[in-house]
Amino acid sequence: MKLQYNSMELMICVAARELEDGSTLAVGTGAPCAAAMLAQKLNSPNLAIMFEAGSVSPILPEMPISVGDSRASHKAVMVSTMGAIMETCSRGYVDYTFLGGAQIDMYGNLNSTYVGGTHQKPKVRFPGSGGANDFGSFCWKMMVLTVQDARRFVEKCEFITTPGWLQGGNSRYEAGLPEGTGPYKVFTNMAVMDFEPESKRMRIISINPGYSVKDVQDNCGFELLKAPQITETQPPTETELKILREEVDPHRYVIGR
Contact, 187 vs 145, CB < 8 A? yes
Closest CA to 187 of 119, 141, 223, 155: 141
Catalytic, 52? Answer: yes
Report the Cα 87 to chain-centroid distance in Å: 20
Contact, 243 vs 16, CB < 8 A? no
Contact, 214 vs 226, CB < 8 A? no
Q: How many CB atoms lie within 10 A of CB 251?
A: 10
Strand-pair category, 110-111 with 141-145: unpaired
- Find all residues with CB under 8 Å of 164, minimum gap 6, and list them: 104, 105, 107, 108, 109, 110, 136, 142, 172, 182, 183
Q: Which of 52, 179, 198, 240 is labelled catalytic?
A: 52
- Catalytic residue annotation: 52
